């Protein structure tokens, strides 16, 4: 099985290829090669199959065609401008997140291949007011340009799949927490910062109140969603190709309590409260209580609870050690 | 108030400008001119204000900019490839219904005007399985390319409005019935044909069973929606800019019963049953039972019942006379 990962230099793309290298096959079919594609040069890894890198902006002429020239049977489309940047730069967000995706879909259509395409959408397609819990048939009326672009991509994915141009699955990812590495431009970055930084011995800023809730998935769980989506039988998915992923629903207060239970008061004391009304406004209207029935019926599995998310971070990123 | 009607040569565009000519003002402001724009030359009418015509394809370079060069304060965007044609010609549907709309929105943004923009969306954005009744927060997962394009346009309209580039309102029109004139390429054409043709003394083909239901609005009611949407206070609409219009929910059997009550058995006998599995499949999954609470709260009003729809047709199109 030939695989292309678009957005292969990103956090999820890197973790995904590492997981693919570890498992070596998907749905019983051996992986014969992976192309990592991104706007910046992706780092290569050693794997039991060839891993190569390619660069380019999907919105530029010919780039999407070149990215799929190897006629992949599986494409992970993770490439996107993140929420904060898409909000700050209207043209760039639409250029990459809408037109880049559309160019990719058109390239696949005209190449005459019909790969499974796994698309990373986002719970950012939803915006309140919400019912008590968000079911699978709740409308997608985003109030960010990022959410708008993802919701449009979902619609295109459904139509292109219905037409038989490819076999698409969109998975609406929860907020990824604990996100490793440096903060990116997402307004939701602090959900990770307040766990990652204190565990590493650093201070972290908490810009919102303890009552703010979020729908979380660890990077480990998110990679699991991608892998599971890659080999789901198309007939099981049905005509509604975009699926809200399961997650852990908790408040900032719940996050901090879990951190305290695992790492102690001294670590929690590294969180500094600096309220930011803009971030509070953005995240306090976010979706954080779901009933992701379709995903659960299809076998997608979430983290156990927020403590499980912290434990996954300590195991996967910190080699089991915390700075107590 | 300067007004541009895109799709001004279509049935709704023509009826809309006739209504505007009759009322002469909107929301207390006198109409100072109307531009009718379409791919074919729109027919001019006499009105208490200047009416001019312009032609061009919104997807062609410069056409959208030219269409709004008069800096309109109100734009009706009714231009679209209809459902059957958008399904038959994938590229043409996306070119006009997605890229044409996007070019229009960009032209408005860059012109530095912030008009009210009334967009004719469609209940084609919905596809079953449905709950018992479709509420305002039901998801839009179309299963036609036309519905997909309308749903995407709705998302763009919401985001461009949120950004302050214009003041958009999308109204999801029911099936227009009784549609006057010749059949167009919509798969739903028979809903009108079985009323219009018999009333005019002609035979009509009914390709589906009596149990098939639809959500109907007369052309008169649809023009009323457009006019009402044009002067609704933006603050009342709120951030969710697309609204399902009220309609008349009835089956083909109900339609025929209403026709019989108004026009008699001889007229009904002109309906010939010729089942068409393709059309049956397309329309039997259509949305036809709604609870359009938001629209009703905002003052949009539907036809009284299907008999009222037939009576409006006889009055507006047949000069009160039927071929009994």
C-alpha to C-alpha distance for B74 and B117, rounded to whole angstroms: 6
| Residue A36 and residue A138 in one domain | yes
The answer to whether A145 contacts B163, with C-beta atoms less than 8 Å apart, is yes
CA distance A203 to chain B (A): 35
The count of C-alpha atoms lying within 13 angstroms of the C-alpha of B263, restricted to the half-sphere facing its C-beta, is 29
Q: C-alpha B218: how far from its chain's center?
A: 10
The answer to whether B138 contacts A142, with C-beta atoms less than 8 Å apart, is no
* A139 contact residues in B (CB cutoff 8 A): 136-140
Is B152 within 8 Å of chain A by CB? Answer: yes
The answer to whether B141 contacts A240, with C-beta atoms less than 8 Å apart, is yes
The pair of structure tokens assigned to B2 is 């300067």
| Residue B148 and residue B278 in one domain | no
| Residue A203 and residue A155 in one domain | no
Instruction: Report the residue of chain A nearest B91, measured CA to CA.
Output: A106
**Interface test mutation site (partner B, options A137, A160, A172, A240, max chain B beta carbons within 10 A):** A137
Which are the contacts of B169, defined by CB distance < 8 A and separation ≥ 6?
B116, B117, B118, B119, B157, B229, B232, B237, B241, B242, B243
**Interface test mutation site (partner B, options A86, A94, A123, A155, max chain B beta carbons within 10 A):** A155
| Residue B62 and residue B199 in one domain | no
Q: Is A123 helix (H, G, I), strand (E, B) or coil?
A: helix
Q: Is residue B158 part of a domain?
A: yes
The pair of structure tokens assigned to B146 is 């036309």
Under-70 pLDDT residues of chain A: 183-185
Question: The domain spanning residue A76 has which CATH number?
Answer: 3.40.50.720
User: What are the average pLDDT values for consecutive 10-residue runs of chain B, which has 324 residues?
Assistant: 97 97 96 98 96 97 98 98 92 98 98 97 95 96 96 98 98 96 78 96 95 97 98 95 98 98 98 94 89 98 98 96 90
The answer to whether A158 contacts B148, with C-beta atoms less than 8 Å apart, is yes
Q: Is residue A181 part of a domain?
A: no
* B131 contact residues in A (CB cutoff 8 A): 137
Q: Is residue A323 part of a domain?
A: no
Which are the contacts of A257, defined by CB distance < 8 A and separation ≥ 6?
none
CA distance A159 to chain B (A): 6
**Contact call for residues A287 and A126 (beta carbons, < 8 A):** yes
The pair of structure tokens assigned to A278 is 């803009």
With a cut of 0.85, is the ipTM above it?
yes
CA-nearest of A5, A13, A6, A57 to A176 is A13
Question: The domain spanning residue B309 has which CATH number?
Answer: 3.90.25.10
Tokens 């096959």 correspond to what residue?
A: A25
Q: Is residue A42 part of a domain?
A: yes
Residue B188, pLDDT score: 85
Q: Is residue A182 part of a domain?
A: no
Query: What is A234-293 written as a DSSP string?
Result: HHHH-S--EEEPP-EEEEHHHHHHHHHHHH-HHHHTTEEE---HHHHHHHHTS---B--H
CB pairs under 8 A between A and B: 62
Of the candidates A139, A142, A145, the beta carbon closest to that of B139 is on: A139
The answer to whether A239 contacts B141, with C-beta atoms less than 8 Å apart, is yes
Residue A185, pLDDT score: 65
Residue A216, pLDDT score: 98
| Residue A120 and residue A209 in one domain | no
- Which domain does A15 fall in, by range? 2-174+219-244
Is A284 within 8 Å of chain B by CB? Answer: no
**Count of domains for chain A:** 2
C-alpha to C-alpha distance for B74 and B227, rounded to whole angstroms: 11
| Residue A14 and residue A29 in one domain | yes
Q: Is residue B185 part of a domain?
A: no
Q: Is residue A313 part of a domain?
A: yes
Is B86 within 8 Å of chain A by CB? Answer: no
Bridge pairing between strands A167-173 and A242-244: parallel
| Residue A136 and residue A202 in one domain | no
**Interface test mutation site (partner A, options B102, B148, B240, max chain A beta carbons within 10 A):** B148
CA-nearest of B14, B107, B20 to B69 is B107
C-alpha to C-alpha distance for A126 and A290, rounded to whole angstroms: 11
Active site residues of A: 146
Helix then strand then coil, in percent of chain A rounded to 5, is 40, 20, 40
CA-nearest of A236, A188, A219 to A302 is A219
Residue B185, pLDDT score: 65
C-alpha to C-alpha distance for B88 and B148, rounded to whole angstroms: 14
Is A128 within 8 Å of chain B by CB? Answer: no
**Contact call for residues B214 and B202 (beta carbons, < 8 A):** no
Q: Is residue A184 part of a domain?
A: no
CA distance A32 to chain B (A): 34
| Residue B149 and residue B209 in one domain | no
| Residue B82 and residue B227 in one domain | yes
Residue B184, pLDDT score: 66
| Residue A194 and residue A47 in one domain | no
| Residue B126 and residue B253 in one domain | no
The pair of structure tokens assigned to B235 is 């603050």
| Residue B136 and residue B202 in one domain | no
The count of C-alpha atoms lying within 13 angstroms of the C-alpha of B313, restricted to the half-sphere facing its C-beta, is 29
The pair of structure tokens assigned to A172 is 């609406």
CA-nearest of A213, A174, A182, A195 to A302 is A174
């Amino acid at each position: 099985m030939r695989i292309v990962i678009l957005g292969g230099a990103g956090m999820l793309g890197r973790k995904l290829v590492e997981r693919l290298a570890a498992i070596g096959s998907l749905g019983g079919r051996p992986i014969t090669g992976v192309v990592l594609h991104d706007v910046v040069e992706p780092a290569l890894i050693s794997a039991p199959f060839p891993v190569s890198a390619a660069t380019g902006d999907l919105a530029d002429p010919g780039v999407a065609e070149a990215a799929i020239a190897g006629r992949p049977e599986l494409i992970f489309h993770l490439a996107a401008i993140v929420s904060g940047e898409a909000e700050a730069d209207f043209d760039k967000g639409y250029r990459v997140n809408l037109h880049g995706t559309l160019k990719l879909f058109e390239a696949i259509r005209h190449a005459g291949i019909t790969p499974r395409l796994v698309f990373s959408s986002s719970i950012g397609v939803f915006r309140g007011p919400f019912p008590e819990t968000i079911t699978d048939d709740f409308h997608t009326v985003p109030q960010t340009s990022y959410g708008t672009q993802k919701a449009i991509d979902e619609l295109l994915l459904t139509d292109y799949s219905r037409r038989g141009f490819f076999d698409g699955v969109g998975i609406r990812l929860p907020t990824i927490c604990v996100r490793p590495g440096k903060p990116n431009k997402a307004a939701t970055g602090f959900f990770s910062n307040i766990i990652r930084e204190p565990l590493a011995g650093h201070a972290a800023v908490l810009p919102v109140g303890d009552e703010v809730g979020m729908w979380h998935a660890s990077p480990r769980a998110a990679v699991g969603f991608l892998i599971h989506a890659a080999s789901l039988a198309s007939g099981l998915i049905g005509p509604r190709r975009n699926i809200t992923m399961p997650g852990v629903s908790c408040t900032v207060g719940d996050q901090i309590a879990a951190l305290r239970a695992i790492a102690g008061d001294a670590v929690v004391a590294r969180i500094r409260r600096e309220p930011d009304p803009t971030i509070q406004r953005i995240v306090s209207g976010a979706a954080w209580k779901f009933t992701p029935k379709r995903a659960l019926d299809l076998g997608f599995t979430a983290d156990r609870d927020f403590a499980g998310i912290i434990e996954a971070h300590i195991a996967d990123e910190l080699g089991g050690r915390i700075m107590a």
